[in-house]
Amino acid sequence: MTLAPAGRRTAAAVLTAALLVPLAACGSDDTKKDTGGSPASGSASGAPAANLTVLAAASLTDVFKEADAAYEKSHPGTKLTFSFAGSQELVAQVSQGSPADVLVTADTKSMDKVRVDTGTPAIIAKNRLVIATGEGNPYKVDDLKDLADTKLKVVLAAPEVPAGKYSKQILDKQKIAVKPVSQEPNVRAVLSKVELGEADAGLVYRTDAESAKDKVDAVEIPDDQNAVAQYPAATLKESKNAEAATAFVAWLSSPEGQKILQDAGFQKP
């Protein structure tokens, strides 16, 4: 049977529509693969998208919250989840096989304890200790020697915590005997005691005091009496997102990452 011109046009249109259906379906699948946000997807920066778990020293709590927003903005599809604690707790978690992608400690000795579990660490920042007192420094604490006053309620980080090790180091160097009313599991707990008035003074990092400057005062410790805290960052070998974890560690040393750290009071590595 011969079709009239109008009939031929109708048949051609039906055939074309039929052929386009499977092509459209293929295009839909490809789009999902490109932008679906799965670990295999890429971000605008070129780094693969992923959900990264970062184990970080407690003294990084505030600055890493800011870094989180900046990193996720420039790396769409990547989500950062932070777990903050004393470095000794973080090392224990890694040793016990807790799933994570990146480790950042407040000292190199803690990182060295899990060297078999990490990639090569990179120092991303440095820090120093200050004496934190109540707002207005009501007990007129001027220097480290004042912490030996038994009438003063002094709180320190526990000796196994990096901040506690640094505190012991500088007090021993000056031959100052301090009897703390408590020894806390991380430096943020020391800061909290001073903030709440449960302690008259405590040794914390300069950046911790800066984060609570409306509640505590910071008494500077001269460099020749102080200790330098170094913050190494490393990927974890058991990470299921190795490429994305490597990208985040590298970003911490990038101009953008360094600006955020230094604006928060951390020193250049």
Contact residues for 232 (Cβ-Cβ < 8 A; gap 6+): 104, 105, 108, 111, 121, 122, 123, 124
The bridge status of strand 228-235 relative to strand 79-85 is unpaired
Instruction: Provide the pLDDT for residue 152.
Output: 97
Report H helices in the chain: 5-35, 61-74, 87-95, 108-112, 162-173, 187-195, 206-211, 242-252, 255-263
> Within 10 A of 219 (CB to CB), how many other CB atoms are there?
18
**Is 68 in contact with 80 (CB distance < 8 Å)?**
yes
- Diameter of the chain by CA atoms? 111
Strand pairing category for 201-205 and 122-134: antiparallel
Mean pLDDT per block of 10 residues along the chain (269 residues) reads: 44 40 37 35 59 97 96 94 97 96 98 98 98 97 97 97 97 97 97 97 97 96 97 97 97 98 96
User: How many Å from the N-terminal Cα to the C-terminal Cα in the chain?
Assistant: 85
At residue 104, the pLDDT reads 98
Alpha-carbon distance of 235 to 254, in angstroms, equals: 16
